[in-house]
Amino acid sequence: MLVRKQFGWTPIEQAPSDIDVRLRVIDEGGSSYVLPVPCKLKDGIWVSSAKETPLKVQPVEWQRFWSIQKKGRISLLKAVPAQ
């Protein structure tokens, strides 16, 4: 639990709507993992942000989605702005 708090994971019940977030999910087999793509809660349904297709896994936690921008030889983490 301590590791999750350090990285800013928040219970899924507190997730914002229509904002790109990173999700920790559980699949049908009970495995837990983090999705590599941004997702958002749209009209009460979790969808992938790019295609807006419904997720086939159960989200359990969320955190702010960060993108990596390359600038010369340096990679910068940048928060994706709220829409």
* Span 7-57, pLDDT tens digits: 679 999 999 999 999 999 999 899 999 999 999 999 999 999 999 999 999
Query: Token digits for 66?
Result: 């960060």
Closest CA to 25 of 50, 52, 51, 48: 48
pTM of the predicted structure, to 2 decimals = 0.70
- At 66 the pLDDT is 73
Beta-ladder partners of 75: 70
